[in-house]
Chain A
């Protein structure tokens, strides 16, 4: 049983994030609302801020995709992506605590999914930064 869990730990510690980041990035871009919704539609629905946020996500995801071969630049984009993620999650949480109508929705599921995605991005970011640091130290 211990070996089973150690195998998972080894996957997290030693396996590379590159292919995961590439496919996740493409999926993230394809899933972005900017591609499937016009600004006018967002404006009509009163979601212009959310649309702007999705625009930012889109730009950062594009940056990530094109800077993937250069780990230093890519880690910066991942950092910005994480900050955006923290921003939108905090905004969501503040709305949950302040707005009873908002809290009545499927909040639990959203939070679990957000938590898992957040862990994924933190894992990728930490791995990248550590790799950059080791590269810097090696000279």
Chain B
């Protein structure tokens, strides 16, 4: 092998080795970036799931409170009727006592 050929072979081999190393390094960097992105996504998903759970719980509580309000309203309506009846009876009794005097 003459001198130019040997020099060229060495240069080609060294370039090949260095470029392979550079690509390995680039691959490593890409993997790292991807891992960071994956972690960020997982965190976001965790936050989203937590929000969904909170909304579900709040909706359930709201439904329960609505039911309670409806029950209370019907009870209040019943009590109003009762109070009106008692008031009317009281007026009648008052009139009866007045007429006895």
Contact surface of A with B, Cβ cutoff 8 Å = 49, 79, 83-84, 86-91, 94-95, 98, 129-130, 133-134, 136-137
Contacts and interface: CB of A to CB of B under 8 A. Distances in A.
Interface residues of B, number: 16
Contacts, number: 43
Looking at chain A's contact residues, the main secondary structure is helix
Interface string B1-30: 001110111011001100000010011001
A86 B12 contact: yes
B12 A87 contact: yes
Contacts of A79: 16
Contact of A137 (B7, B11, B12, B31): B31
Contacts of B15: 83, 86
Interface of B: 3-5, 7-9, 11-12, 15-16, 23, 26-27, 30-31, 34
Nearest to B20: A79
Contacts of A137: 30-31, 34
6 tightest A-B CB contacts, nearest first: A91-B8, A90-B8, A94-B4, A87-B12, A90-B11, A86-B12
A91 B23 contact: no
A96 to B, nearest CB: 10
B27 A133 contact: yes
10 contacts: A79-B16, A83-B15, A86-B11, A89-B8, A90-B7, A91-B5, A91-B7, A134-B30, A136-B27, A137-B34
Given A86-B15, A87-B12, A94 B7 contact: yes
A72 B11 CA distance: 25
B26 A133 contact: yes
A49 B11 CA distance: 18
Contacts of B23: 129, 133
A139 to B, nearest CB: 11
